[in-house]
Each structure stands twice: as C-alpha cells, then as structure tokens.
C-alpha cells in the first residue's frame, strides 16, 4: 500500500471518529436559596428533566439549592459575570436591578390565584412587560418565566400577631425592595433588610423579631424553630422568576433556546401548583411542631394596604403597570 493510500485511510478514520463522537454536553448551573421541600426546588427539577430529555442530554442542568451559590443578589451578580447561569428566586430580591419588580411588594395585590395565574402566563401582558423591563435594564439577565411560590404569611418570636397594631415597634426583616420596607413600615414595623439565608441567625440574635415568607419557605428552612408564632396574613402570593444569563442564552441555537423557554414556562406553572399544594399540606403540620397559628383581622391589614397602592405606584412610575395588573 502506498504512502498516499495510508494517509487517505488515516484521514477517513479520523473523520469517522469525529462524526461518531457526540457533542460535548453543556451544563447550566441553576441556583436557588431554598431547600426541598419547596416549589422553587420542584420547578428547578421539572426544568432539568424537560431540558435534558428534549436535548438527549446535550444540555444538562446542575441544581444548587439551599443558597450554595449565595443569596439572590450574589447569584444575580455571578450570572452577570458568567460564573453562574440561572436562578429561581423572588422578584423582590431582583428589584435593585429591575425596579419595576417592586410592584409585587404591594400587599393584597392579587385577589386570588386565578388573577395570579393570569399575570404569570407566558402570553400575558404582565409577563411581556417584565420580559421587556429585564432586557431594558441591561443587567445581563433574560427572563424565562414568572412563577409562584405559595402564600406569604407573617411569623414572629415575640407573640401572636392578629392585627396591624401588633407590629408597632417590632423589628422586622424585609427583602431588598424599598417598597417592601415601606409597606411594612405602614403597619408600624421597624424594618431591616436581610438576605433569606440570614433570617435564622437574625431571629436567634435579636437582630429581627419578625419576618414574612411563604409557608413552604418557613417550613423547609425550619424557621419555626426561631419563630414559633405564625399569623395567617395571606398578604401576598409569592411572585418569583426563572432567569438565565442573557449571554449564555444567546449562545444557544434557536432550537435550544425554544426548548429552554418552553421548559422554564412549564416549570413556572408547576412551581405555582406546588406552592398551593405545600400551603395546604404544611400548615396542617405546624401544631405538631410547636407553632402557634393565629387568624388575623385580614380586613384591617387590607384597609391599611390598599390606599398605598396608587400612592406607591405613582411615586415609582408604576401606575401603568398597576393598572395592567388590575385589568386582568
């Protein structure tokens, strides 16, 4: 056999080996501050399963729960510089980057779950508004889905809360949203911004004496150990977001982008469903955990909150968005 023939065979063999070698899998690093059981973790797992199945594992998803990648703002910063890819978190902690998210700090914004689902649907004008707002903010994020996380209630270690006056002078943890702080100050609370991952120690050390959270977040993070009084204020349906690095998303093919978008939208719907399920399931277990669950004068809380909606929206230039939500 000639040298030319041997060279040709070698090239053919190399080509065959290359064509038989599958493309290297790309891994998306997805972080969230909560631990299972929690609807955000369920949404992450649903997203992972759909993406990996649809791409035959060309794209894999690695989930980091329990704040392993830091708190929400840390993760968003990491996404912006490219060391983390995705986040499932509360929109209020993203409001320093996308101020319009502050609208969801308004207590009693949604009348019921039907209104919430209408707002979070991928074809809703509210989702479209925030899709554009995140892009226009220029912070390097791509909004994939809006999702739930369950009902938010108030918890304390200072005694039962049944009416707004019980919060007078209470040191209360709030998110990084300015509007969130303003809302609770309207009830008389003294607010302090703390990351979610610091609530437990903050309650232990007396930095704060109260906080508000989803029922599932309170349960899964064992916050009942430091806040054994749980008030059914039901002041918010948790608005959450599934977001990805804009640069990372843009590097995928159009086909893979469509897969990622669809999987995130399905995961968002699933997260909302799981939030409802956990609310009903976990609160039934609180008595056995030594938690005192109190009913509240909800109308008194509503009456204090509703007049502030238009005022806050006007101050922050969110009047049109507030009306968009009301029109749902």
- Residue range 48-107, pLDDT digits in tens: 999 999 999 999 999 999 999 999 999 999 999 999 999 999 998 899 999 999 999 899
Span 177-225, pLDDT tens digits? 888 898 999 999 999 999 999 999 999 999 999 999 999 999 999 999 9
Question: What's the average model confidence in pLDDT over 128-148?
Answer: 97
pLDDT at residue 12 tops 80 = no
Q: Which residues of 75-96 are buried (b: 16+ CB within 10 A; e: fewer)?
A: bbbbbbeeebbbbbbbbbbbbb
Q: Which two tokens stand for residue 274?
A: 């799981």
pTM: 0.86
Question: What's the average model confidence in pLDDT over 5-34?
Answer: 61
Topology adopted by domain 25-149+239-280: D-Maltodextrin-Binding Protein; domain 2 (3.40.190)
pLDDT at residue 28, rounded to an integer: 98
The set of residues, in sequence order, having a beta carbon less than 8 Å from that of 198 and lying 6+ positions away, is 71
pLDDT at residue 1 tops 70 = no
CA distance linking residue 64 with residue 49, whole number of Å: 15
Q: What is the dihedral of CA 70, 72, 74, 78, to 10 degrees?
A: 100
Judge contact between 50 and 267, C-beta under 8 A.
yes
CA distance linking residue 203 with residue 29, whole number of Å: 31
pLDDT at residue 270 tops 80 = yes
Give the Cβ contact number of residue 191 at 10 Å. 21
pLDDT at residue 24, rounded to an integer: 63
Domain 151-237+290-327 has CATH 3.40.190.170: yes
Q: What is the sign of the dihedral through the CA atoms of 145, 69, 212 and 193?
A: negative
Q: Which two tokens stand for residue 48?
A: 């992972």
Judge contact between 33 and 223, C-beta under 8 A.
no
CATH 3.40.190.170 domain range(s) in the chain: 25-149+239-280, 151-237+290-327
pLDDT at residue 146 tops 50 = yes
pLDDT at residue 236 tops 80 = yes
């Amino acid at each position: 056999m000639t040298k030319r023939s041997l060279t040709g065979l070698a090239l053919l063999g190399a080509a065959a080996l290359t064509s038989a070698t599958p493309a290297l899998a790309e891994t998306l690093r997805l972080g969230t501050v909560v631990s299972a059981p929690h609807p955000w973790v369920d949404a992450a797992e649903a997203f992972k399963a759909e993406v990996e199945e649809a791409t035959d594992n060309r794209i894999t998803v690695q989930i980091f729960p329990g704040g392993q990648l830091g708190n929400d703002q840390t993760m968003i910063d990491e996404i912006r510089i490219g060391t983390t890819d995705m986040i499932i978190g509360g929109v209020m902690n993203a409001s320093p980057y996308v101020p319009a998210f502050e609208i969801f700090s308004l207590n009693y914004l949604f009348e019921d779950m039907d209104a919430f689902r209408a707002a979070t649907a991928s074809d809703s004008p509210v989702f479209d508004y925030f899709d554009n707002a995140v892009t226009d903010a220029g912070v390097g994020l791509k909004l994939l889905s809006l999702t739930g996380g369950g009902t938010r209630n108030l918890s304390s270690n200072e005694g039962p809360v049944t009416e707004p006056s019980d919060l007078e002078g209470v040191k209360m943890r709030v998110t990084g949203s300015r509007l969130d702080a303003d809302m609770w100050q309207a009830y008389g609370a003294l607010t302090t911004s703390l990351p979610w991952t610091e609530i437990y120690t903050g309650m232990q050390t007396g930095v704060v004496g109260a906080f508000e959270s989803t029922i599932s977040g309170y349960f899964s993070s064992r916050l009942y150990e430091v806040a054994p009084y749980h008030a059914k204020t039901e002041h918010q349906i948790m608005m959450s977001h599934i977001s990805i690095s804009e640069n990372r998303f843009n590097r995928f093919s159009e086909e893979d982008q469509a897969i990622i978008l669809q999987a995130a939208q399905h995961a968002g719907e699933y997260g909302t469903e799981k939030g409802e399920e956990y609310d009903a399931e976990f609160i039934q277990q609180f008595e056995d955990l030594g938690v005192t669950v109190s009913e509240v004068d909800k109308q008194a809380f509503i009456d204090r909150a509703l007049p502030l909606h238009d005022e806050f929206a006007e101050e922050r230039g969110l009047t049109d968005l507030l009306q968009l939500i009301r029109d749902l």
